[in-house]
Structure 1
Amino acid sequence: MVSLARPFLADPAFVAKAAAGTPERINTCIGCNQACLDHTFSGRIASCLVNPRAAHETELIIGPTVTRKRIAVVGAGPAGLAFATTAASRGHAVTLFEAADMIGGQLNVALQVPGKFEFAETLRYFGRRLEETGVELRLGHRVTAPELAAGSFDEVIIAAGVTPRTPEIPGLDHPSVVSYLDVLRDRKPVGLTVAILGAGGIGFDVAEFLTAPADEDPLNVSEFLEHWGVDTAYANPGGITKPIEEAPPRQVTMLQRKASKIGAGLGKTTGWIHRTELARRGVQMIPGVNYQRIDDAGLHVRLTGKDGAVHDHVIAADTFVLCTGQDPLRELHDELAELETGSHLIGGADVAAELDAKRAIDQGTRLAARL
């Protein structure tokens, strides 16, 4: 017997596609829990990150369009992909512009993080959907506002994503300072001691990336079982044995401006895993930090103790990684407005909040269902 639950939220046609011999058409569950179990434990309707129609089928209706439109979409990240494929499936003529030479946007960044390799399945699915729905894909094309304004498009969708936010801290031009994109996307060299400024979802992703074993294989089942102390031979009570722990390749410290618990905003059903894993890897977490400056001595901070006393401290590290938020990329939207051409903002270009693929795919799908 094969028992499936979450995979049917991701794709209710799972069995039909498998039976037809077309498994590459299946919208694969990525095991994120963000819209299913996390919603359930928050008293919300369970749905699915990769399929926002799950449990919303009667309200989010995607049917043939009455009036066929020519639509331009800028950005092939999760929001742009969801909109383009949904709109094209309804009968619209969609052109998708992407400055990079591949689709995915921020999903390609997420793929670099240990435990998120399943996003490759989402990209595989969207790649197939682009072909099936007839979207005209223009990779390596940084489209301009005048080009869009002159293109006779009925609608323009801006899904250009986000850019890392640069905080106002003196010394950010120091050679020891890099952004999370420098680390995850561009693979810039990182030292053996690291301080991460920002402890949101991206900060945790960077910490996991920097402390993961160099030879970690996400598909190695026996390695996974040993790491988490799972005894499949049941030689120990409950099938639990002592986990095998490897020394992390780096010493990492995570810093947060807020005085609240670090990691409090992570997913309800998965946050504890990330906090536990980083604790096992010896990652130090310090909340309530006021950043002063960065120089050759390190990061100068001001800390407020539990007794209310303020202490100045210098955190020495080889590398300082900025995970201090994102800003939306809206330049095209503003330029089009000056040319008296309207456009819609979706995904990170609308609201820059972490790497929120759930909101991006939902927003793109819903807008495509309305237009």
Structure 2
Amino acid sequence: MIRKYPNLSKPIQIGNVHFRNRMFGAPMGGTDITADCTIGRASTAFYELRAKGGAASVTVSELVVHPETEGSHMYHLDLQTVGALSSFTYTADAIRRHGAIASVELSHSGQYAGTYLTDKDKKKGLNQWGPSDGVRPDGLEVKALTEAMIAEIVEAYGTSAALAKRAGFEMVMVHGGHGWLINQFLSPYFNKRTDHYGGSLENRVRFAQEVLDSVRKAVGPGFPIEFRMSGSELFDGGYDLTEGIEIAKLLESRIDLLHVSAGTYQRGFGVTHPSMFLPHGSNVYLAAEIKKHVSVPVATIGGLNDPKMMEEIIATGKADIVEMARALLADPELPKKVMTNRDDHIIHCLRCFTCMAERAMTATRRCAVNPLIGRELDGMEILPAAKSKKVLVVGAGPAGLQAALTAARRGHKVVLCEKGDEVGGILVGEQAIPFKHEMYKLGVTLGKLAEEAGVEIRLNTEVTKAYADQENADAILLAPGSAPILPPIPGLDGENVIVVNDLHHRQDQVSDQVVVLGGGLAGCEAAIHFAREGKQVHLVEMRAELAPDANIRHRPILLGEIEARGIKVLTGHKAVRVQPEGLACLDGEGREVLVPGTSVICAAGQRPRRDVVNALWDSALEVAQIGDCVKASTITTAIYQGHHAAMDL
């Protein structure tokens, strides 16, 4: 048999352990950390899903090694807490029984203890310890660790590693990047010590070396130790790639796998976890350069989800292993699909940060394109229905596509009708914006999967009451989506106005001087797109702030991109008239101003198509409404509602 991606599919031995391919599941925090900081049953299922999907390794994150100085609500492992050891054992079993190697991330946040607490005020009750005295950006005082405390923490790393091995984990990852404690010691920005743990690079590396020695003593020879580091801190005052290479060289004799990530807490979330505004694989260059200087295998990470790119990384020697986190939330079966030459079936991560925002907001997990994530115990298996029904799905947007796909997989006879000439609904318009292309691709892939599952897709087909009655379906799932809001503004129907939903049809008509009307998520992202093309862009919003509909992880990055691109923002401005030379608005004091722009992009929001829902409500005994027709919302809501409406049939 010929594999399409032979390098990604090739096994590798690290230490005495054999891994089935080169695709590893990077650390991801669980979904139900108990009050005692043990692994809940939902988290065990969460990690197991990636093992079932074919990943060579699945890393549980984060095990806090020394709760006395890092009291965050993350995993703890000791023999005193009832359920701690057993919860880790059950999780290791769940991962290993599917052929993946279970690993656990050993961590200490140092001065950033409490970062993942949902109640941020509780951070004030934690001791913030670091290499040196100081004050955090949020005003919390940081105290320097004494040498006695350092020795205690070093020993704790070994103790935790030994217990993880006892629980059945076959590898450990020592977290030495992203601004956490080990990184704080490595960094000249954080580490101002004058003893043998500070000053020279050799001194700053000492803590990491002692930690690794402690772990090695605890787990013994041949047991793989993976060390995660930032190849560069990527900010002034931190260490750069040149020093990152030297750090790697000073540590390689103590490790079996070097995991090269990027950035630090100071640099920004969207760099360590590359946002949609950055190229895929934007941090790979760090691993590629460091690999030239070390002899141990090197892993790379950062917005990777394309098998072609990942194959090239391995084939050209930039890294030996690729690691993914978000990509395996979007599609846990990505590795299995790569191994079996079914890469065209992959549901790609959108890099929308829904997963990370949900963790920060509710301490759970959710994925925009995978309705199972964080709810694996609520129905991971799509089981055949007791009775096959004829199901009519109205609308081939994300909600309708997901509903049709799930219903077909359950054995129902599904007809999916779409008024337009292609599937995807509102996602079709995203093809106009390169950094949102994966949203467009989502619709294409869901359509392909639905068709292969047996869904009959009828394009250019509007479902009227008569049409639905003629189909005589047992159940009808209504997903007609939403329509763009067009405010009653004179001139909005002019030739110089383009509704953002239609941008993919008219993008060659956009001039070099653009006004975007509407500062919600869609308007902001359109403005960024035009600014990237070198156009002069004004962004007009009636409310006092931009993008209130963006999630808490994506929004700061979005606003930063708007500022960096030089987009002129006018909040508190109400549009009153479209003119050939721009958009007339009333400012906050009621004065009329002209915002210049020979092209006006209308992104004033979406309105649910309630007329379609109301007309078809009695077209079958079983009826459900899903997606934007209920309330203009997100891809996440559409996918989730579509899946569960089909599960309820």
TM range (shorter): 0.7 to 0.9
* Deviation for aligned residue 1:337: 4.2
Q: Does residue 52 in structure 1 map to residue 332 in structure 2?
A: no
For 2:418, give the aligned amino acid: E
1:39–1:47 contact (8 Å) kept in structure 2:
yes
| Structure (1 or 2) with the greater helix fraction | 2
Q: 2-side partners of 1:369 and 1:330: how far apart?
A: 23
Match of 2:605 in 1: 325
2:429–2:503 contact (8 Å) kept in structure 1:
no
* Deviation for aligned residue 1:52: 1.1
1:333–1:343 contact (8 Å) kept in structure 2:
no
Q: 2-side partners of 1:366 and 1:57: how far apart?
A: 13
Equivalent residue in structure 1 for 2:532, among 212, 216, 236: 212
The C-alpha deviation readout for 1:44-74, integer Å capped at 9, x for no partner, is: 4112111111110112453211121101011
Look up the SS of the partner of 1:117 in the other structure. helix
1:114–1:212 contact (8 Å) kept in structure 2:
no
Match of 1:158 in 2: 478
TM-score (norm 2): 0.48
For 2:373, give the aligned amino acid: A
Match of 1:256 in 2: 541
> Which structure 2 segments of 5+ residues have no match?
1-320
Given the superposition, is the C-alpha separation of residues 9 and 350 from structure 1 closer, same or farther in structure 2, using an over 3 Å criterion? same
For 1:262, give the aligned amino acid: L
Given the superposition, is the C-alpha separation of residues 164 and 37 from structure 1 closer, same or farther in structure 2, using an over 3 Å criterion? same
Q: Does residue 361 in structure 1 map to residue 361 in structure 2?
A: no
Q: 2-side partners of 1:125 and 1:174: how far apart?
A: 35
2:480–2:629 contact (8 Å) kept in structure 1:
yes
Q: Does residue 300 in structure 1 map to residue 300 in structure 2?
A: no
Look up the SS of the partner of 1:101 in the other structure. coil
Q: 1-side partners of 2:602 and 2:641: how far apart?
A: 28
Look up the SS of the partner of 2:559 in the other structure. helix
* Deviation for aligned residue 1:297: 6.4
1:184–1:206 contact (8 Å) kept in structure 2:
no
Q: Does residue 103 in structure 1 map to residue 417 in structure 2?
A: no
The C-alpha deviation readout for 1:166-211, integer Å capped at 9, x for no partner, is: 1122333444333213334443612222221110011012212322
For 2:337, give the aligned amino acid: K
* Deviation for aligned residue 1:41: 2.0
Look up the SS of the partner of 2:349 in the other structure. coil
Q: Does residue 286 in structure 1 map to residue 564 in structure 2?
A: no
Q: 2-side partners of 1:64 and 1:135: how far apart?
A: 15
Larger deviation, residues 63-72 vs 186-195? 186-195
Match of 2:360 in 1: 41
Q: 1-side partners of 2:580 and 2:347: how far apart?
A: 49
Match of 1:270 in 2: 554
TM-score (norm 1): 0.81
Q: 2-side partners of 1:138 and 1:83: how far apart?
A: 15
2:472–2:620 contact (8 Å) kept in structure 1:
no
Larger deviation, residues 70-79 vs 44-53? 44-53
Q: Map 1:211-250 onto structure 2 (within 5 A).
A: 211-213=531-533, 248=534, 250=535
Q: Does residue 112 in structure 1 map to residue 432 in structure 2?
A: yes
Given the superposition, is the C-alpha separation of residues 134 and 297 from structure 1 closer, same or farther in structure 2, using an over 3 Å criterion? closer
For 1:57, give the aligned amino acid: E
Look up the SS of the partner of 2:447 in the other structure. helix
Given the superposition, is the C-alpha separation of residues 314 and 23 from structure 1 closer, same or farther in structure 2, using an over 3 Å criterion? closer
Q: Does residue 180 in structure 1 map to residue 465 in structure 2?
A: no
* Deviation for aligned residue 1:104: 1.3
The number of residue pairs the alignment matches comes to 328
Look up the SS of the partner of 2:323 in the other structure. coil
CA RMSD in angstroms, aligned pairs only: 2.3
Q: Does residue 345 in structure 1 map to residue 630 in structure 2?
A: no
Given the superposition, is the C-alpha separation of residues 339 and 101 from structure 1 closer, same or farther in structure 2, using an over 3 Å criterion? closer
Q: 1-side partners of 2:342 and 2:492: how far apart?
A: 51
Q: 1-side partners of 2:629 and 2:465: how far apart?
A: 15
Percentage identity across aligned positions? 30
* Deviation for aligned residue 1:338: 7.2
Match of 1:370 in 2: 648
Q: 2-side partners of 1:323 and 1:115: how far apart?
A: 18
Match of 2:399 in 1: 79
* Deviation for aligned residue 1:366: 1.1
Look up the SS of the partner of 2:393 in the other structure. strand
1:196–1:322 contact (8 Å) kept in structure 2:
yes
2:468–2:619 contact (8 Å) kept in structure 1:
no
Match of 1:137 in 2: 457
Q: 2-side partners of 1:351 and 1:41: how far apart?
A: 24
Look up the SS of the partner of 1:360 in the other structure. helix
For 1:364, give the aligned amino acid: G
For 1:323, give the aligned amino acid: A
1:145–1:332 contact (8 Å) kept in structure 2:
no
Look up the SS of the partner of 1:68 in the other structure. coil
Given the superposition, is the C-alpha separation of residues 370 and 310 from structure 1 closer, same or farther in structure 2, using an over 3 Å criterion? same
2:394–2:480 contact (8 Å) kept in structure 1:
yes
Q: 1-side partners of 2:428 and 2:539: how far apart?
A: 23
The C-alpha deviation readout for 1:135-185, integer Å capped at 9, x for no partner, is: 111123223220111211011122122211111223334443332133344
2:513–2:598 contact (8 Å) kept in structure 1:
yes
1:72–1:156 contact (8 Å) kept in structure 2:
yes
Q: 2-side partners of 1:50 and 1:132: how far apart?
A: 19
